[in-house]
Amino acid sequence: MSPTFRCPSCGQQRLGTSGLPLVCASCGFAGTTPGPAPRPAIEIREFSKRYGTSMAVEALSLDVRAGEIFGFLGPNGAGKTTTIRCLLGFLRPTRGSLHVLGLDAWSQAAILHHRIGYVPGELALYDDLTVEQLLRFIARIRGRIDEAERARLEARLKIDPTRRVRTLSKGNKQKVGLLQAFVHEPPVLILDEPTAGLDPLMQEEVHEMLREARAQGRTVFLSSHGLREVEEVCDRIGMIRDGRLLTVESVDELKRKAPRLFEFEFEDEPRIEEFRHLAGVTDAAVQGRTLRVHIRGDADALVKAAAAHRVKRVDARDVDLEEVFFRHYGGGPP
């Protein structure tokens, strides 16, 4: 017998099947029947990895939803690559578990790899093979290759399959790495610095490929140092430092919560004390007649305080993700 659900808008009772979309016959509300939430594409639970006496990742828990592009950020040595290598089953977690598409990343790695496309951070290909031979080798392991998709990607990424791998530039090798990850159209893509070494035009092409993958319902786990890249393509971001996850938030939310930057140029020299303790001000600096203030939320108090001076110029802008990132890590660029 089908369960009965109540429309969250008008309260009418109706029959339905758990988890399926419905449109209420009474009020027209469109939604999804209550039911078990779809399982995340990637589930990491209390994952820790120790190398000898050094803890590379500690108690990391994270979900990546199916069909999203998830950015994984952190400075060098933060534990990004260790996490990715555990997701691929290259490293055994010291504690906790990592599941991709419901399969255990360590014990079911070979089965799982049918459904994962991977670009390593330090990509190494077989130098003595041509691109064609390399792709045939991978196709033989996988059992099949979609030749039409391969030809399409070769054209899109501008890859010459007759070239020997050792003669390729870093950027061209990276394109081959991307091709082998995308060509079997996996539901999950795990990409460690996928645009490293690519020119800006090709980077944009790869971003477009990522957006297309998301539109097809595929999941992307993306590690990158390119903060603008992450800002441009990711839905959510996880930030990791010293092996600990600092935050997981949507890009929009992260930017919304981030302070805005106001820059005033006055006719006279302002005193920092006038602004430092205003409501919402997180940071203030005076240089000559210029005041730079980071502020969260309402800027009313700041504007009123600035009005006590003659203002020659004012600029206001949202800080970009790069600045948010540096604030999290409290230092210079990673």
By the criterion CB under 8 A, which residues form the site for other proteins? 85, 88-92, 109-111, 113-114, 116, 118, 120, 122-126, 128, 137-138, 140-143, 177, 180
- Minimum distance of other proteins from residue 66's CB (angstroms): 20
| Minimum distance, C-beta of residue 90 to other proteins, in the bound complex (Å) | 4
- Assess contact for 291 and 263: CB atoms under 8 A: yes
Closest CB 330 distance from other proteins, rounded Å: 30
135 vs 293, beta carbon nearer other proteins: 135
- Shortest Å, Cβ 1 to other proteins: 42
Closer residue to other proteins in complex, CB, 47/118? 118
- Which residue in the block uniquely carries the two structure tokens 């959510």? 236
Tokens of 99: 């599941």
d(CA 21, CA 295): 42
Give the angle subtended at the CA of 122 by the CAs of 328 and 120, to the nearest 5°.
85
In angstroms, the CA 97 to CA 95 distance is 7
Comparing CB distances to other proteins, the nearer of 122 and 273 is 122
The total of other beta-carbon atoms located within 10 Å of residue 306's CB is 21
Q: Residue 303 carries which side chain, given as an amino acid letter? A: V
CB of 141 to other proteins, least distance (A): 4
C-alpha neighbours within 13 Å on the C-beta side of residue 215: 7
**Is 123 or 306 the residue whose CB approaches other proteins more closely?**
123
DSSP track, 25-45: TTT--EEE-S-PPPPPSEEEE
Q: Give strand pairing partners of 264.
A: 291, 314
Nearer to other proteins, 118 or 329 (CB): 118
